[in-house]
């Protein structure tokens, strides 16, 4: 099988379950991982034969992809803020929208940065705290998560990307465990915020593979993490400190009200698709 035949074989099968753009992007990622060659190089050697080992791996990739398994889990990698992160089924796949949250934090970052203490709540793969540490090298960065397997992934990424992060395992909804954390200048979080009822409309590659505990909240209390973050900030934010959270696009006003009613000055920010996807809150009392 040639390089070109391998590409077309995967692409044509993926077209049956993904859009043309998605099928093309997934194919490009997978074939690059398989051969170690970028697209431009593969075009030069499109008639070259792939090895037997590569052909076997290609079929394994296709079989898993046709079951809607995310390509990031198959390849054990995902790019975020220009960095390659290891990912597996224990963590959410980093999203481009979350990169916008990072940029918002950086844009509003006060100086001197060597005195900043930053906490990421629900770190998962570690993409948020690690990316912030790479951009604000002298800041002291913490990350917490309820999942020990997720923290192992985050620690692995911290090492591979040359960052020192203080990771700690705790259940953030258990307020007694907040005593394990110091105070911070910046609190960041992309918490679970998808109501259970939304499962009916979710894509299978998300619903059946990504960790439910990092995605879903009860229908009768979809703001529980934002309420907890707001309360936590009252006792763990330093003077002039800020909270930055990613939000469900349909719950912006409710989340804004949650922070405002707790004593914060808060604002909503839209993402590049003009969806309300982020909230910044500064404690004003």
| Domain parsing of the chain, residue ranges | 3-67, 87-283
Q: Percent of the chain having pLDDT more than 90?
A: 87
Residues 94, 185, 214: CA angle, nearest 5 degrees: 30
> What's domain 87-283's superfamily in CATH?
Vaccinia Virus protein VP39 (3.40.50.150)
Tens of pLDDT, residues 86-99: 999 999 999 999 99
Given pLDDT bands bounded at 50, 70 and 90, which one contains residue 172? Answer: very high
| The pLDDT value given to residue 209 | 94
CA distances from 170 to 143, 226, 247 (A): 10, 17, 22
Measured in degrees and rounded to the nearest 5, phi and psi for residue 249 equal: -60, -20
pTM over cut 0.85: yes
pLDDT at 112 > cutoff 70: no
The residue whose two tokens read 């839209």 is: 270
Reported as a single tens digit per residue, the pLDDT across 201-236 is: 998 999 899 999 999 999 999 999 999 999 999 999
Position 113 confidence tier, pLDDT thresholds 50, 70, 90: low
| Contact between residue 14 and residue 64 where contact means Cβ atoms under 8 Å apart | no
Are β-strands 83-85 and 184-189 bridged in parallel, bridged antiparallel, or unpaired?
Answer: unpaired
pLDDT band at 73 (very low <50, low <70, confident <90, very high): very high
Distance of CA 111 to the CA centre of its chain: 26
With b meaning 16 or more CB within 10 Å and e meaning fewer, what string describes 80-95? Answer: bbebebbbbebbbbbe
Task: Indicate whether 189 pLDDT > 90.
Answer: yes
């Amino acid at each position: 099988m040639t390089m070109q035949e391998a590409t077309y074989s995967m692409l044509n099968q993926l077209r049956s379950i993904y859009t043309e753009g998605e099928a093309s992007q997934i194919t490009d990622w997978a074939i690059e991982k398989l051969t170690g060659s970028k697209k431009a190089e593969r075009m030069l050697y499109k008639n070259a034969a792939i090895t037997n080992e590569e052909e076997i791996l290609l079929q394994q990739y296709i079989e898993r992809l046709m079951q809607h398994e995310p390509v990031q889990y198959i390849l054990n990698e995902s790019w975020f803020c220009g960095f390659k992160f290891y990912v597996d089924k224990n963590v959410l796949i980093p999203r481009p929208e979350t990169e916008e949250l990072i940029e918002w934090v950086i844009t509003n970052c006060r100086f001197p940065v060597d005195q900043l203490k930053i906490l990421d709540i629900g770190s998962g793969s570690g993409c948020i705290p690690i990316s912030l540490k790479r951009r604000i090298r002298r800041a002291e960065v913490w990350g917490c998560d309820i999942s020990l397997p997720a923290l192992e992934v985050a620690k692995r990424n911290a090492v591979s990307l040359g960052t020192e992060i203080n990771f700690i395992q705790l259940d953030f909804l258990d307020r007694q465990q907040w005593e394990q954390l110091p105070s911070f200048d910046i609190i960041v979080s992309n918490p679970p915020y998808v109501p259970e009822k939304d499962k009916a409309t979710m894509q299978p590659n998300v619903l059946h593979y990504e960790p439910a505990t990092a995605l879903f909240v009860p229908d009768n209390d979809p703001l529980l993490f934002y309420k907890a973050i707001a309360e936590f900030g009252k006792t763990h934010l330093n003077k002039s400190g800020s909270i930055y959270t990613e939000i469900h696009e349909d719950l912006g006003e409710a989340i804004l009200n949650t922070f405002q009613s707790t004593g914060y000055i808060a604002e909503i920010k839209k993402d590049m698709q003009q969806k309300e996807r982020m909230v910044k809150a500064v404690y004003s009392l």
